[in-house]
A = this chain, B = another copy of it.
Amino acid sequence: MFHHVKELQFNARVSKPDVRFAKLLLEQFGGPNGELKAAMQYFVQAFGCRKAHPDKYDMLMDIATEEFSHLEIVGATIQMLLTGVNGELKNAADESDLTKMLDGKAAKENYIHEAMINPHFFLVSGGTPTLTDSVGNPWSASYIMGMGDLTADLRLDIGAETSAKMVYENLMKFTDDVLVKESLRYLMTREVAHFQMFQAALDSIQPNFPPGILQTDPKYSNKYFNMSKGEDFKGDWNEGTSPELREEWQFIEDPLQHVIETNGMLNETASGTDRTEKSVQKDNRALSSERKSEIDAANSSEDGIMQWSNYSSKKDEQKPKKETAKSVS
């Protein structure tokens, strides 16, 4: 259940209206790397771990709720930047007077010019934020990602914070308003803070690589295919040891020839790795079993009826607990 208090989490202020920056700032209100995307991504992911991973559920809901609060900060800033638009639209009858005045032409021209910057502010939303990105694409839930597995979801969340940080960094180049910059810097900082929270949570789950359950096929896990010829380079990504599985990279200089020779890789063999098909299957079974049992334990109920909240036990829940389940910590 959500509550709202009318104070913003951060004291957002604006020195003067600026339709142009309002347009740019929409990128973080209704854009694919913005606050709504972050809020909804963590909120939706949280449902899946409420029962089996209540500590991660707590963290996801803490951050999701903060992101909703940031969405409000961004919207409030846009609203202040648009001050005057709505009042002028209300002046619906007096427009003819405007052009009668000596400088009416210029004022009107300027007004039309502002409308070109983002017609929606003037024609549709009446001077309030629109839930679009900075060029007008409506926010879409296709921005949201979540796979129902924390070893994947937390990585996707790190990605979300990464791109959100970048957009705030870029936005700062386009305003001189020190008050607006103050808010932008706060919001940018919080993205980096969240990044580290997700990283810490990911680190607390072991093993967490590869994401999910299944191990990779050792025949293909350390091959590097040189698919783009000309100006070829070597680096840690195609020579030496792979960073997670610690296998030796195998550089395939001529992929076409290799494919022909291996009958489309059906005859490929593993090299540069200690992992075997047998070890892989063993690991698969062990991890499947462990992770499934976590879920099953969380889903068990006595009478078969499922219930999301337990209202009577409320008082006991108020003190922070430390998760100690073996497989997660």
Contacts and interface: CB of A to CB of B under 8 A. Distances in A.
B287 A93 contact: yes
B111 A173 contact: yes
Given A6-B229, A317-B6, A87 B44 contact: no
Interface string A50-93: 10001101110111111011001001111110011011111111
Interface size of A as a range: 35 or more
B307 A13 contact: yes
A147 B174 contact: no
Nearest to A147: B166
A206 interface: no
Nearest to A227: B65
A232 B58 contact: yes
Q: Which of A47, A133, A260 has the most B CB atoms < 10 Å from its CB?
A: A47
Contacts of A295: 86-87, 90
B4 A1 contact: yes
Contact of A234 (B118, B130, B320): B320
A91 B288 contact: yes
Nearest to A132: B141
Nearest to A85: B148
A255 B1 contact: yes
A57 B216 CA distance: 26
Contacts of A326: none
B170 A122 contact: yes
Nearest to A295: B87
A106 interface: no
Interface string A92-123: 11110001000000001001100111111011
23 contacts: A1-B72, A2-B72, A3-B5, A3-B255, A10-B264, A11-B264, A11-B265, A15-B306, A32-B124, A47-B75, A47-B128, A48-B126, A59-B237, A62-B226, A93-B213, A119-B134, A122-B173, A126-B147, A138-B144, A193-B222, A195-B244, A232-B318, A264-B311
B138 A228 contact: no
Given A4-B2, A141-B132, A230-B318, A235 B90 contact: no
Interface in A1-38: 1-16, 20-21, 23-24, 27, 30-33, 36
Q: Which of A1, A124, A149 has the most B CB atoms < 10 Å from its CB?
A: A1
A309 B1 contact: no
A255 to B, nearest CB: 7
B9 A233 contact: no
Contacts of A47: 75-76, 78-79, 128-129
Contacts of A76: 47, 50, 308
Nearest first, the 3 closest Cβ-Cβ pairs linking A and B are A126-B148, A11-B264, A135-B136
